[in-house]
Amino acid sequence: MHSLIACGEAAFAIALADSLFLSISPDAARSRVLLFLAMSLAPFAIVAPFIGPVIDRIPGGRRITVLVVAFLRCTTVVFMISRLNSNSLFALAFASLVLARTYSISKTAIVPTLVKNDDALVSANSKLGLLSGVVGFAAAVPAGLLQLFDSRATLVMSAVMFGLAGFASLQLPRHVASAPNEPQKKEIEELRGLQVRRVAFSMMLLRGMIGFLFFHVAFWLRDERAGTAWFGLALGLSSLAIMLGNLIAPFLRRQMSERAMMLFAFLVIGLIGIYAGVVGGITAGIILISVTNGMGSIGRLAFESVVQREAPDANRARAFVRFETMNQLAWVGLGLIAVILNLPGAIGFAVVGVVCLTGSIYFFVKRSV
């Protein structure tokens, strides 16, 4: 099921990116994306406080939610096929974004109910990330080829994948654990601990950089020849990098602490960002966005490990929903900055490098609280 969702997401991202800003004039594209990102802030504020607790407390709610969301996403994408040049595209994209966040929350809540113990949870998350990377990379190739002919064909591919995912969700177990009505005092204290707060903020910064690069590279490539193909390649290689990041993260965790893993991720992105800023060019930009996504997956697993260890009494489904909302807000917020500033390619890469190097120094070298 998750692999079908990942495939549908990859095709949807390529089709939507081309419809929003790769195939129209720069001024119109910028206005569209600004409107889209401004609208997209609402789902992150709505889904976690309201939808999350509801699906957590209804018996079988997460399974039902995944089923309904998959079919609704299929329906939404089908409606988008005939409305690519209409203002209603924004409403449909908004609805699809809400549904995507709802699925993410449901998946996060389901995983702990499908593993035997906490040690298996890290491995399960790693495998899901690895699967997403493999499928996303594989799906980007046919989706990119379809996009060269017609955006509607790419959306058809996305709709079919979401529909198949809906049927596949019927195989999920009916029973899932429900969360307590209110967070306990010990849970709140643990989630506010120094280690958890530090790694959570670092994860937000990583996700923010990923969002910044996504829109920076997309607008930059639109001015290059075969921009859609280059953007499709960037998405495909980013998925491959996510796969590799999830593959090596468990090995890194056996060799070093989560703090060292985060430091490693920030340093790699920072150095590659500075290099890309100096060299410039399409190749450097695609390498940077791929590396950033790969290091982001390593940072995510380090973050999850810290929460599991430092907050053993927390309800993880509820905790990860809260953190995921904060991370997505960072993705959208820094994405907005990339759209508004419209920096030259190399300057944007250098900004990523400087921010990540500065973040590594401040969050991981500074010892004082």
* Closest of 182, 183, 180 to residue 57, by C-alpha: 180
Residue 304 has pLDDT above 60, yes or no: yes
The ranges assigned to domains in the chain are 2-172+185-365
**Tokens of residue 204, six digits:** 């937000």
Distance CA 262, CA 3 (A): 27
> 21-63, pLDDT tens digit by residue?
555 555 555 666 666 666 666 555 555 556 555 655 655 556 6
Nearest one of 17, 3, 4 to 229, comparing CA atoms: 17
DSSP assignment of 70-135: HHHHHHHHHHHHT-TTSTHHHHHHHHHHHHHHHHHHHHHHHGGGSSSSHHHHHHHHHHHHHHHHHH
- Rounded to 5 degrees, what are φ and ψ at 344? -60, 155
Mean pLDDT confidence for 307-323: 65
Query: How many CB atoms within 10 Å of residue 123?
Result: 12
Residue recorded with tokens 């809260």: 322
Asked if the model's pLDDT at residue 278 lies above 80, the reply is yes
CATH domain 2-172+185-365 topology: Growth Hormone; Chain: A; (1.20.1250)
The rounded distance, in Å, linking the Cα atoms of 323 and 310 is 15
**DSSP notation for 287-340:** HHHHHHHHHHHHHHHHHHHHHHHH-TTS-HHHHHHHHHHHHHHHHHHHHHHHHH
Q: DSSP string spanning 141-189?
A: HHHHHHHHH-HHHHHHHHHHHHHHHHHHGGGS-S--PPPPSS--HHHHH
How much is the pLDDT for 369? 44
User: Residue 266: is its pLDDT beyond 90?
Assistant: yes
The answer on pLDDT for 188 being more than 70 is no
Residue 85 has pLDDT above 80, yes or no: no
Top pLDDT among 260 and 64 is at: 260
Task: Return d(Cα 89, Cα 102) in angstroms, integer.
Answer: 20
* pLDDT at residue 271, as a whole number: 95
What pLDDT is recorded for position 368?
A: 44
Give the C-alpha separation, 3 to 5, whole Å. 5
Q: In this predicted structure, what is the pLDDT of residue 66?
A: 77
- Mean pLDDT of the 287-308 span: 87
Q: How confident is the model at residue 350 (pLDDT cuts 50, 70, 90)?
A: very high
pLDDT per position as a tens digit, 115-154: 665 555 556 666 776 666 667 667 767 877 787 777 788 8
For residue 314, what pLDDT is reported?
56
In the predicted model, what is the mean pLDDT of the chain? Answer: 75
Predicted confidence at residue 174, as pLDDT, reads: 58
